[in-house]
Chains A and B, each alone.
Chain A
Amino acid sequence: MALYSEKVMDHFRNPRNVGVIEDANGIGEVGNAKCGDIMKMYLKIEDDIIKDVKFETFGCGSAIASSSMATELIKGKPVADAMKLTNEAVAEALDGLPDYKMHCSVLAEEAIKSALDDYHKRNGQ
C-alpha cells in the first residue's frame, strides 16, 4: 500500500496554482522551517471574489498536496465561502491523509485564513 492516496500524489506531482501573485492583495505565511513546514498563500480578490490564488510551500509531500488542494477549493469562490474552509475539507478532497499528516491540512487552512486576514486588514475591516 502506498503511503498516500492517488489524489495526494497527483497534487504533489502536479501542484495546482504554484507561484507568486505580484499584485496580490492578501498574503499569508504560516509554519516555520524549524518544524519542517512553511506555507505562503497569495490572493487576488476582486469584488469579494477570489479571482486568483497561488502558493509556495516548503514541506513534505502532504504539505505540498494540501496547499495545492486548498487553493483549488477556494479559487473563484466568494471570500465568505473561503473563510469557511476547514482542514477536514482539504483532507477529504485529497481522499484522506495519514493521521500524523493531518497537521498539513491544518496548516493549509491556516495559510488561507492568514491571507484572508491580511486582505481584510488592508481593507480596514
Chain B
Amino acid sequence: MIYADNAATTKMSEKALETMVSLIKDTYGNPSSLYEFGQKSREVLEDARAKVAKAIGANPKEIIFTSGGSESDNQAILSAAKAGEAAGKKHIISSAFEHHAVLHTLNKLKKEGFEITLLDVHENGLIDPGEVEDAIKEDTCLVTIMFANNEIGTIEPIREIGEVCKKHGVTFHTDAVQAIGHIPVNVVDDNIDMLSASAHKFHGPKGVGFLYVRKGVRLFNLIEGGAQEKGKRAGTENVPGIAAMAVALEDAVSNLENYSKIVTAKRDRLIEGISDISHSALNGDAKKRLPGNVNFCFEGIEGESILLLLDDKGIAASSGSACTSGSLDPSHVLLAIGRVHDVAHGSLRLTIDESTTDEEVETIIASVKEVVEYLRGFSPVWRDLISGKREFIL
C-alpha cells in the first residue's frame, strides 16, 4: 500500500510504540497515587510535559493533556467564550474553513447569543491579518484561526495574526493539529495564547493530545472530576499515550528541517506531475502550504470514484467530495476558497510524509492520471465540456 493520507492519521513511530507498550506493561501505576510505583508514573507524565513544552517553546505548567485536537479546541474556545461573557464581551472571530471541532463549537455559541465573524480565506486559502484587525471590536473576546488547514494545507500568517490580537488585548487560539511536528511552531514568537494539538498527526498514538494555555489566560473545565492536570482536566491521565506523544513530538521537532526539505521536494514533484492533467487545479497557495499536502480539483469527475479506483491500485488518499462525507455538500474548505460545487465534488487530497519514496510519488502521479482519464471517459459532464455544451470552469 502507498499511504498518502497522513493528514487523516499517521503511522506510529517505532520509538513511540515501544514507549507506549513498555509503559502499559510495566508502569501502570496511577500518577495520583502516593506510593513510589504511582510516583514513577507521575515522573513519566511530568517528563512528557517538559518535552512537549520544550517542543513548542512553552513552560511545562502551560501544557494540559487532553484526548486530542477536538477536545482541546472545545475547551479553548468555550473557556475564552465564558471568560469573555463574564466581561460582557460576546464577539468571536474565526475563519470560514476551520475544522468542524472549531466551527461546530462556534455554532453552539452562536445559539447562546455570541456574535461570530468568519473571515474570508480568499482564493489561495490565506487569511489576511489586516482583515483580522479590521474585524476586532470592543467586545471581541477571542480570535481562533487554524495554523494550517487540514484539507488544502495552507499555512496561515499566525505570527502576524497573533501580533494583531496582542495589540488589541484579544485572546488568540490556534488549532495547530496539522502544523505541530510538520512546521516550526513557537508559542512565544508566534504570539499564541492557546494552541490545540493531536498526537496521531505526528506519529504518536490516537486519543491523546494537548492544549497549551499561556500563563494568565483563564481556562475552564470541560470534564469535571478529580484534580488531575491542575484541576483543569479531570480523569486519570493516559500516561502511556502521553509519553508516546512526547517522544514522537521530540523526534518530529528535532528533524523538522530535514523533514521539510525532503517532503517539500516530493510534494512539489507530485504537484508538477498532476498539473499535467488538463482542466485540473491545485487547491490552496502553491508555496505557503504544509510540506506533505497536495490537493487538486479535476473537472468532470467525482472524488469518491477517484478514491475507490486509487484504492484498487493500492493508494490510500482522501477527497472533499460530498459522497465521502455522507452529506450532499462538498467540503466547506473548498467552497470557502471559491470552488463551485461542480468542481469541489472532484477533489483529491494526497498527504505524504518522509517515508514516501520517489518511486511511490511517480506511481501516484501515473495512477491519478490514469484514473482521471478513465472516469472522464464515461462522464456525461466531461462529454458536455469537451463538446462545448458546457463551459469549463478550470
Contacts and interface: CB of A to CB of B under 8 A. Distances in A.
Interface of A: 9, 12-13, 15, 18-20, 29, 33-40, 55-64, 100-101
Nearest to B390: A33
A36 B308 contact: no
B308 A61 contact: yes
A56 B328 contact: no
A39 B381 CA distance: 9
B342 interface: yes
A112 B298 CA distance: 28
A58 B312 CA distance: 19
A71 B92 CA distance: 53
B380 A38 contact: yes
Contact of A33 (B312, B323, B328, B381): B381
Interface string B245-260: 0000000000000000
Q: How large is the interface on B (under 10, 10 to 19, 20 to 34, 35 or more residues)?
A: 20 to 34
A58 B159 CA distance: 43
Nearest to A40: B380
Contact of A57 (B321, B328, B378): B378
Shortest beta-carbon contacts, A-B, top 4 = A60-B323, A60-B304, A33-B342, A36-B345
Nearest to B304: A60
Report whether over half of chain B's contact residues are helix, strand or loop; otherwise say mixed.
Answer: helix
Interface in B247-283: none
Interface string B315-330: 0000001110010101
B105 interface: no
B378 A18 contact: yes
Given A9-B308, A36-B323, A101-B323, 9 more contacts: A29-B380, A35-B328, A36-B341, A38-B379, A55-B378, A58-B301, A61-B305, A61-B323, A64-B305
B240 interface: no
Interface of B: 300-305, 308-309, 312, 321-323, 326, 328, 330, 340-342, 345, 378-383
Contacts, number: 68
Nearest to B328: A35
B302 A56 contact: no
Looking at B300, B309, B379, the one whose CB has the most chain A CB atoms below 10 A away is B379
B304 to A, nearest CB: 4
A57 B382 CA distance: 10
A58 B379 contact: yes
Contacts of A15: 378
A38 B381 contact: yes
B305 A36 contact: no
Looking at A33, A37, A56, A62, the one whose CB has the most chain B CB atoms below 10 A away is A33
A12 B304 CA distance: 11
A11 to B, nearest CB: 12
A92 B382 CA distance: 30
Contacts of B323: 36, 59-63, 101
A12 B307 CA distance: 12
A100 B379 contact: no
A91 to B, nearest CB: 16
Contacts of B304: 60-61
Contact of A34 (B308, B321, B342, B380): B342
A56 B380 contact: yes
Contacts of B383: 20, 56
A34 B326 CA distance: 15
A60 B380 contact: no
Nearest to B383: A56
Looking at A20, A35, A60, the one whose CB has the most chain B CB atoms below 10 A away is A60
Looking at A9, A13, A15, A40, the one whose CB has the most chain B CB atoms below 10 A away is A40
A56 B378 contact: yes
A12 B374 CA distance: 12
A58 B380 CA distance: 6
Contacts of A20: 383
A60 B305 contact: yes
Given A60-B302, A60-B305, A61-B305, A36 B379 contact: no
Nearest to B324: A60
Contacts of A57: 378-380
